Each structure stands twice: as structure tokens, then as C-alpha cells.
Structure 1
């Protein structure tokens, strides 16, 4: 079938909405009419660093309606509302023990440009076009493996739900699945974008006593306070580590860095109490620090967390339920754009003008 999709033909190039051919789903795949798709920093990184082969259709926070299912699909049927999440093999040790975000084939399945059977579903002029995260949701339709597809409540606005598949799942899941803080413990979130603010809301759900948000944008810090932060710190105006230690009586139990900025990562480590844990959830480059001083001497932990260590089929419906109960108001992060405004949406995301852009496919 012919579809419209946002194609990137080369490193760092703008998105161009073009006509592509989409193949029929294989037995374990699902055809989804995309209603909306979140814009995630990972899409920009993939485009600008060439994480997937070009030409490519990016997008990995899709939401839509099932139109057709393959012969072996059992978990969804035509008419179901679904969110698309990351791709995983389903049979390696990490997948089988409930950690599909660290699937041994994660990079190949999500960034390799082909589906699980090493073929393309997207074509243009008889040539294959790379898929992304096993879905490529920057299009009017998408094919995804059944494992990528999460059935969601039809009572909730489907246009809102795509970002639950990655960014929002990452922030909330790092708190609820990785840290699992006890009531009354403390957490610091560095970066008040969509990932960080999702972590703020999750920390409020579990009853953290101190929920400290750190950013350099006043408007984002104000929203963090509205969503549950008990203290906000502007990194350009205060000694962040000093303020954290004073507020938490010696340091936080947990911290999350969403920024990928080496100096901010160091602040996160220094602001922990002994035995504290810092999770890295953003793309972070080379950095240098004294391991004894920053980690070993106080028994601290530095850990990378992918996709909130979530099982999407279990965790995303849980987040939707929290949203319906008014406990997880992630709609306050969202700004909608028409599909044709995709390049504007990416610019606004980069500048900080928009916390979580969502493209409506119309």
C-alpha cells in the first residue's frame, strides 16, 4: 500500500514528507494506522549522528489503530487502540527475565534499519528504506512486530499516548522499575524535559519526601513544581550539590540524569548520600572523574537505564491508569503539531520551546 512518511535521506537533513510503499504484515506483524507520534530526542540523535542507515523513516513513539494482523498475532485485533514501543527479541535471557530494554539484539532491532527477518517493509523507487525501532511511526501507516505493540484503553485520547512508548516510559520507569524508592526517600532529577518531568510525577506517586528538579529554564522548573517537585534548583544560579545536601540532610538516595552533560553527571554523583544511586538515561559522551572519590569511597552506584527497565505491555497500561486517576498528568507536557510541521516541531524541541511535541497525522 502507498503511504505518506517523513523521509530523511542523509546525515542531519530535514525531514521530507514523501510517498512510500509499505508491504503487508508478516505472520507475526501488525499494520497500524498511525494517529499521532511523539518527537523524541533519540530521533534527532539518530538523524544527526547516523545511527541508522539512510534513507530512513524515523519515529518511535507512535500511537494508532490496528487495521490488519498477521496470522500468528494473538494479543491485538483490528480496531484496537495501540501504542508502539521499542523492539526486542523476546527470547534472550534479559527478555525472558523481564528486562527487554537490555535485549542482546536491542541495537540491531532498533537501529539496524531492517525488521527482525532482516528485510524491509518500507520501499521507495524499488529500494528499501530503513525502519526505526521496528515501527517508523513518522508516517500515516506502520508495520510493527506484535512485541512492539501495546493495547491501550479506548477511553483515553489516543493522540496523547505515543510518548508513553519511549520518553515518558523512560523517566517514570527509572523511578518505578529501577529504583523502586521507599516512601519518604529522596530523589534528584537533572533536566526537566519530558523524561525528567515524567520521573518527577512517578516520584510523587510513590511518596518520595524530597523531589528535587534541576534545570536552567525557569518555565520548566515552574512546571516541575506543579507536577510534584518539592524543590527546584536553577543550575546557573546556585551551588547545586550544596543545595541538595542541605535539603536532604546529607545527600539524596537517588538521582537521574537526563541531560548527558558530564559536569551535571558529576553533580548527580556528588549530591548522593553514601550508598546512593545515580541513573544515566540520556546519551552521554566521554567524561573523566576519580572513581574512588565519586563512587567507591561511599559505596555509590552509577547505572545506565534503558527504556525505564520496563516491559511495555505491562507498564504502559499502568501509566495510562495512573493518568486516568489524575496521578500522572503527562498531558501537561504536550504540544501538538500537524504532520507537515515536523521540522518545526524538532526545532522547538531542540530550543526548549516545546517540552514534548506530538505530531498529528490528520
Structure 2
């Protein structure tokens, strides 16, 4: 009888636990699904740089607060330099993300708003962690902190070294020409580089060095540049007329070389230091030569900008030394003219 009574009590306990579990599941499931969470953070980096990082889908890995398989981001609408609208899938549920960028005295204020409907898992986490603000709100804060840490640390770590005059050796290459604004250069050149890599792989073309850029124009007033994305190849390539990709070649030339280690945003400073060196040494720029930037270390192999290495080559003319003429020798001639003084013997 005692055993039977104990079994009955155990059954009641299990039934009670089952009922409580069902009640808890029902309680969780009936919680409000719709939510909206907002977080903001000021980052001491210029607005354009912050916006370019966040709007570039290939940079998502550098600041995404969710694990790779937890969330899927898709850019829906981009308002240049101002707003990014995204669709974010969390556990199968679609959510809307708004990121707004506002210029401040110290840098940029990012406001990140996330809204949508909670699935059962997020409702459960919300209850266990004291509200959705503590679940998704913390995620937004993590993402903003990731952006801050990435940009401030990575962009402020750089070094510029001017090496002086070197010989840039003759090179065959293939190129794609485009025009863009200074602000869009990184994004446009990155896509072009991917296009070039795909072209050489498709056509079994051997690459013999690092990709590089040649600037044909650099308009400071309009803030635009016409440039070629180039990949060095072993043999000179001939392409059909009208093709996006064309072949090119340059011969050996002298250039002042500078190495920038760090993010490409310091490129203008590196160029200015190179030009200052040329002026200081009283060198003459070769205006008919190619201004070249070689991406020795860059995306996609290296994600950290502080470790990127860019080499700059500005062509200069050979010095021509003209020997100074020797001073004219003035010879004193002692003549025997009538005015000469002679000794006579009396």
C-alpha cells in the first residue's frame, strides 16, 4: 500500500509538472510578438567612413553581433551616407533594420532600430532575461561596439614610409577602366578586383604579382578619379574590341616609392608625403608616366585594415648632369714690342 501510495503521489507530481509546463508554454506563446528596439552610439570617425563600412555587405563579418548561422542580412535600400534599410532573418522570422548616420562634432552618431515579430525561442529568452530589451537590445549594442572597436582601432593604426627612388620593372597586365567619386573608390575598386580575378580564373591566365591601380585623372575639385584596375600577367594579352577587359604594358621606369601600412583612408596622406619628398629633393615628376598603387596585402585575404600594405609609385625623370665649363685661362704675354723695356750697355 505504501508503494502504491508513493506511485500515486509521483504521478500527481508529474501531472502537475506537465500541466505547469503546458501552462508555461502557452504563456510564452501568447506573449506579444511585435517588438521594436533602438540603440545609439557615437563613434569618433567621420560619417563617410562609418557608412561605407556598414553599407558594404562584404564587411558584415567584421561587426555582425550574431553568429554566422544565427542571422541573415540583406540590404534593401541605401540612402547614400544617411540611412541603411535591411531585412534581417532571425530564426526564420523576418525583421526590419534601420541604421541612421548623423554627423557630430566628434564623429558620427549611429542609431540602430530593429523591429519585427518574435518567434517562440526569442519570446522565451525575453521572459528569462527580463524583456526583449535585454535580448535584442544587447545584440544591437554589441554590433555598435564592434563597429566602434573595428574602426577606431583599425583605422588609427597605420604607418607611412617614403623609400626614395627605385626602378619599377616592366610589366604586362590586363585592366578594367572606370570612373567614380573619391568616397566610392574603395567599394568600386573592390568589385572591379573581384571581376578581374574571376576573368583570369575563367580564362586560365597566370597572375605573376599583386593587383594594382593606375590613376589616369585625379580631380580634386570634382572629387572624382578615372582609374584602371590592373592585374599583372606573364604574357601580353590581346582582347577583342569593346571588351571591358583590355591588355596593357609599361616599360622600366624610375619612381619614388612609398609604402602605406594600414587602412586605405590614409592613402591621400601617403600621396602627399611622396609629393613632398619629390619637391624637397628637387626631383622632376614624369607627367607622361603611370602613377601606380600596388595592393601587396589587402582584401579578401586580409580583413584587418591595420595589416593592409599599399605601395605607391610616382614616376620621376632621370637627372641629367651637365658638367660646368672650366673657367677660361687668362695668359699673361710678355711681348717685345716697342713699349718693351730693354737693358742696354753703355
- Greater relative contact order (CA < 8 Å, ≥ 6 in sequence): 1
Instruction: Decide: shared fold, TM above 0.5.
Output: no
Structure index of larger Rg: 2
Shorter-chain TM-score range: under 0.3
**TM-score for the superposition, normalised by structure 2:** 0.24
Identify the structure with the greater strand proportion.
2
**TM-score for the superposition, normalised by structure 1:** 0.23
